[in-house]
Homo-oligomer: A and B are copies of this chain.
């Protein structure tokens, strides 16, 4: 790797040492060698004194965030139709929009809006749904590769219930299209990885699900999908897969729940009970918790604190366009609020998430899906975001810990100045 991925940054540093502890340094030093973090320090160790040093003054430096669940083609209609619940929203807004990505000219322009904004938010890693279209998904991957972000991207599989314009002919056609897509991208990208993407069980026949389970095993490919988001959806899945003991078990039956070495991401898990929790844990699956989306579509609130205590892997997802923004700070705020309401309104034995826990989920929790990612401990990939929070005037001498909490509750006033992914600076003056 080139020399320019070895350097020192100076500023107000914050990162999770554990899920319950945020470590901070005022005017500290953060060292990157060959794209890998060497740790944060109050005084710069002698051995790093020859590295170039970039001093960000009073600005904040935090780990890049991981968006574990976002639908690229839905970005075009974020923030509208939010008075619907899931199934109505899919049929009225989502499926008609995604059908348009059959047209590569449309897809190219629409995805340019998505990638432009993704570059300019707090996210350095993302796990992305495309559409079922071959060309459009290639275009999305090309554009993402150019950004320098590190992502997984899925060509969506759906062979039923998508309506006339958003459905593959049958399981065979869907599987063939998937293999064709995988063949086309082989060796093409450095930072943009494929992920198998059955939309959710209502969109995929048993045969298609089984075929994807097999493909995952054969090629060592990861899977992403949706689980127990909405009560009507859960009931529907029970009808569609009557032999399953629960929604998660339906995925298990098709061999799509993954393994700890090849973990599946399941978005939502709002209505997951202990049985589902055990299944997720057994398979080493990651929950993509999407609180903004789950409130917007009146889905409910996932009992995240329970999942954490049970040791299930969890990160946060913005779930655009059911979530209305790719701003992970806003997602953190809504995650906190959701957990407080779960405690207040549902179950007072489940304590609200702390700010420490939510900061961890947004950075290290989701980052774990990508390996050693999401914190500034030595050996982790150097993903960092530099933030100017000076627009938020204050009268007090605020600690770094207070400033990152305030920034999360006032996302509109936290301005990104620079972003690094695996030690590579994306570009300067990111502000549009």
Contact = CB atoms under 8 A, between A and B. Distances in A.
Contacts of A79: 392, 405-410
Nearest to A321: B409
Given A83-B354, A106-B395, A354-B83, A78 B341 contact: no
Contact of A352 (B100, B117, B298, B355): B298
B398 A80 contact: yes
Interface residues of A, number: 58
A316 interface: no
A432 B395 contact: no
A340 to B, nearest CB: 4
B337 A299 contact: no
Contact of A78 (B336, B354, B406): B406
Copies in the complex: 2
A340 B298 contact: yes
A360 to B, nearest CB: 14
A113 interface: yes
Nearest to A73: B395
A428 interface: no
Nearest to A330: B412
Interface stretch (A155-163, A197-205, A342-350): A342-350
A324 interface: yes
Given A337-B334, A341-B295, A409 B82 contact: yes
Given A296-B409, A341-B341, 10 more contacts: A79-B392, A79-B410, A80-B398, A82-B355, A292-B337, A295-B341, A299-B344, A301-B341, A337-B337, A391-B432
19 contacts: A76-B396, A77-B394, A78-B406, A79-B392, A79-B405, A80-B406, A82-B336, A109-B395, A110-B395, A116-B393, A298-B344, A298-B352, A324-B333, A325-B410, A325-B412, A327-B412, A345-B345, A345-B346, A391-B432
